[in-house]
Structure 1
Amino acid sequence: MSFSSISKQKALCAEEARGEDEVMELIPGLPEEVAEKCLLHLPFLYHRLFRTVSSNWNRFLTADTQGAAKPSTVAATVSLSLPFLFAFAFDPVSRRLQCQALDPFSRRWLLLPPVPSGVAAAAGSFAVVGLPARGEIYVIGGVEEGGEKAVRSVAVYSAATNGWGEAAGMRTARGYMAAGEVGGRVVVAGEDGEAEVFDPEAGRWSPAAVRGGAPVARYDAAAAGGKLYVTEGWAWPFERAPRGAAYDAATDSWAEMARGMREGWTGSCAVSGGRMYIVAEYGEWRLKMYDESRDAWRMVAGGGVPGEVRRPHVVAGELGEFGGGGRRRIYVVGAGLDVAVGTVRGGAEEEERVEWEVVKGPAEFVGLAPCNAQVLYA
């Protein structure tokens, strides 16, 4: 082989090697971990478009649905992904359930695919549970509109595909239930005391322990610390103290809710940074935080929810803390999808304080009445 042929062969091999290196790099010139963070912060609505950029981008952006490259732990998902607020609301004209997503950073609402027809027709009869780390929202059961027939069906929204699908139906048809995420699974509790658990990895429901005692009419529910809390809350005319129960997933057992928790549960609860917060239904809609060591709700300093956010309202919280310094974020979604964004600062050793910012809903949302809100990391 001539010297020139050898040189050409070496040059070709070097060129191929360079080409392989370029293919292997998500973003040429950036360290892999930096490139991953950049791609994970791309708006989830445009992932289909971004997947056409290169085969590497396609593999990375679809890895979460194939069990590959993307981080799978909750900590990695929370730290590398962006939180989006998903608000479910009823249009009084069409009487259809809608779902909109708010990007808290750009303050823009994103247009999502319509909720499948026939899902959760009767307002307030169904349960909505978000699995933030998986980027999924489940709309569970409910009562058919115009009747009293409960349904077993479960619809699931995936941020990875920006689309709706069907999940396995519940073992028992249910309406007006409590539900929440506990340990990465969906726990559903009926007013009759029966409960069941959905494993999203296995795609199936299994029975849970039956809650004994008198029925607990669902008023509000929240999941925190490996438990699902269900409470009747205080309601006029205050004829008796409210009942409450707590389901422990680790032991598959129910217990009566602590007295201080149930007697102080006077509003809608959101969990953020592992802490339970209530937006009080009375007065100025002040924020309270549950102190488990004292079994008491402590008032959070700062003003109440701004008055421009009107009833009806729903609440949601971000899974983790953000920006350092132990800051936590609470969302209060009001009529017309006006949103009060509360940033809570402070910790166990110092007084907590909340600062509010209002994001006005678009004019076309003026007639929408919110019924649920969830935060997903997408």
Structure 2
Amino acid sequence: MSFSSMSKQQVLDAGEGAGEEVEELIPGLPEEVAEKCLLHLPFLYHRLFRTVSSTWNRFLTDTPAKPLLFPAGAGAVSFSLPFLFAFAFDPVSRRLQCQALDPFSRRWLMLPPVPGGAAAGSFAVVGLPRRGEIYVIGGVEEGGEKAVGSVAVYSAARNGWEEAAAMRTPRGYMAAGEVGGRVVVAGEDGEAEVFDPEEGRWAPAAARRGAAVARYDAAAAGGKLYVTEGWAWPFERAPRGAVYDATSDAWGEMARGMREGWTGSCAVAGGRMYIVAEYGEWRLKRYEEARDEWRMVAGSGVPTEVRRPHVVAGEVGEFAGGRRRIYVVGAGLDVAVGTVSAAPGVHGGEEEMVEWEVVKGPAEFAGLAPCNAQVLYA
């Protein structure tokens, strides 16, 4: 249903603009075309665009437009655009910055300063792509050892930060991710909690039993949060890993092949888990659950001009023929954009191939060191 085809009662139910008739979004254009035009407006200017008319205001802010952005049950995003949000520290000022890369213009957009003063790498960052929100959670106070429980949330719709409900327990160096539209955090002590963005509050989750798992990397896919303590060569012992299942609210052991092959940073793209290896040519690997193994993706590794440290992110949905997109952000916010597509199988099973394109960061970003990346649809 197009926005303009809603009944007057539906508009009244939307709350804002009660009593007003629905006007054309853009006079003279079919509504389907007008919808696509508005949904592609740069999100940083939505506040300005909402002043054009009450109809534009409702379309860009109220719930009736959300099904157009994210159809119920759909795994892919229909109209809204993926923006890459990169968090980085200035090694001189030690201040945390956040920029957004526009996928079409390939220009970086400066965002409002990130609140809080947690030490680099101690806090968790979780994106809720379908809500257009990013959560910066907890951490350790800069220059100290005290863990904090504060939570700041960025909204792409408002292009601003707000304070959210604090965690029940202050945490630093935690694993975190989006599982089923909620934020799950787990400390190294095994205690965990879940934040529901609709209710705006935290609730306890099942505790993980057994030996501590020092967070090296974490990823969320298929309703589960995967936490690994990583790898080192030569192995002094087998790496440990844990899996939280949101449906059963229970923790389990990570499959052997997954934990032993988790040798880099993981990005989830189109529902699949990929790793950018930290050794050799920085090749891309994909996890296959049925075989419990990481399989090499054909094509070259991350271009060497995108220097370490690397942080990675993936787009939620697929696009144009089932392809998936992965972003690798390097020093100076140079970005390698990887497009993963199906390739003819040689040894049986589904094969994939990646092609890379590099987007150079502006000269003024030369000293920035990335610490996290998220993809939001805005």
Q: Same fold (TM over 0.5)?
A: yes
Equivalent pair of 2:75/2:317 in contact (CA under 8 Å) = no
Equivalent pair of 2:71/2:78 in contact (CA under 8 Å) = no
Larger radius of gyration: 1
- Correspondent of 1:288 among 285, 289, 292: 285
Equivalent pair of 2:84/2:101 in contact (CA under 8 Å) = yes
Equivalent pair of 1:176/1:190 in contact (CA under 8 Å) = yes
Deviation of residue 32 (structure 1)?
Answer: 2.4
The CA distance in 1 between the partners of 2:296 and 2:29, in whole Å, is 46
- Partner deviation per Cα, 1:166-224 (whole Å, 9 max, x = no partner): 00000000000000000000000000000000000000000000000100000000000
Deviation of residue 313 (structure 1)?
Answer: 1.0
Residue equivalent to 2:6: none
User: Number of residue pairs matched?
Assistant: 353
- Partner deviation per Cα, 1:264-291 (whole Å, 9 max, x = no partner): 0000000000000000000000000000
Identity of counterpart residues, as a percentage? 87
- Correspondent of 1:165 among 142, 162, 165: 162
Structure 2's unaligned 5+ residue stretches are 1-18
Residue equivalent to 2:40: 41
Residue equivalent to 2:295: 298
**1:309-348 → structure 2 map (5 Å cutoff):** 309-323=306-320, 325-346=321-342
Structure 1's unaligned 5+ residue stretches are 1-19
Residue equivalent to 1:214: 211
Residue equivalent to 2:377: 377
Residue equivalent to 2:64: 68
SS at match of 1:346: strand
Instruction: Kindly provide the amino acid, as one letter, of the partner of residue 111 in structure 2.
Output: L
Equivalent pair of 1:77/1:377 in contact (CA under 8 Å) = no
Deviation of residue 234 (structure 1)?
Answer: 0.7
Residues 40 and 176 of structure 1: CA distance in aligned 2, closer, same or farther (over 3 Å): same
The CA distance in 2 between the partners of 1:106 and 1:295, in whole Å, is 39
Deviation of residue 58 (structure 1)?
Answer: 1.3
The answer to which of 251-260 and 51-60 deviates more is 51-60
Residue equivalent to 2:28: 29
The answer to which of 309-318 and 73-82 deviates more is 73-82
Q: Does 1:152 align with 2:149?
A: yes
Equivalent pair of 2:76/2:319 in contact (CA under 8 Å) = no
Equivalent pair of 1:125/1:142 in contact (CA under 8 Å) = yes
Equivalent pair of 2:149/2:171 in contact (CA under 8 Å) = yes
The answer to which of 72-81 and 311-320 deviates more is 72-81
Residue equivalent to 2:140: 143
Deviation of residue 352 (structure 1)?
Answer: 0.2
Instruction: Kindly provide the amino acid, as one letter, of the partner of residue 105 in structure 1.
Output: F
Deviation of residue 22 (structure 1)?
Answer: 9.4
TM-score, with normalisation over the residues of structure 1? 0.90
- Correspondent of 1:224 among 221, 227, 245: 221
Equivalent pair of 2:76/2:317 in contact (CA under 8 Å) = no
The CA distance in 2 between the partners of 1:254 and 1:230, in whole Å, is 10
SS at match of 2:247: coil
Deviation of residue 233 (structure 1)?
Answer: 1.3
**1:109-148 → structure 2 map (5 Å cutoff):** 109-116=108-115, 118-119=116-117, 121-148=118-145
The CA distance in 1 between the partners of 2:246 and 2:20, in whole Å, is 47
SS at match of 2:77: helix
Deviation of residue 76 (structure 1)?
Answer: 8.4
Residue equivalent to 1:194: 191
Residue equivalent to 1:10: none
The CA distance in 2 between the partners of 1:35 and 1:109, in whole Å, is 26
The CA distance in 2 between the partners of 1:371 and 1:115, in whole Å, is 13
Residue equivalent to 2:265: 268
Deviation of residue 21 (structure 1)?
Answer: 11
SS at match of 1:69: helix
The answer to which of 156-165 and 232-241 deviates more is 232-241
Deviation of residue 70 (structure 1)?
Answer: 2.8
Equivalent pair of 1:102/1:108 in contact (CA under 8 Å) = yes
Q: CA RMSD in A?
A: 1.7
Deviation of residue 29 (structure 1)?
Answer: 2.7
Deviation of residue 77 (structure 1)?
Answer: 7.6
Deviation of residue 350 (structure 1)?
Answer: 3.9
Deviation of residue 248 (structure 1)?
Answer: 0.2
SS at match of 1:262: helix
Residue equivalent to 2:252: 255
The CA distance in 1 between the partners of 2:102 and 2:64, in whole Å, is 26
Residue equivalent to 2:79: 80
Q: Does 1:367 align with 2:367?
A: yes
Instruction: Kindly provide the amino acid, as one letter, of the partner of residue 342 in structure 1.
Output: G
SS at match of 1:80: coil
The CA distance in 1 between the partners of 2:98 and 2:194, in whole Å, is 25
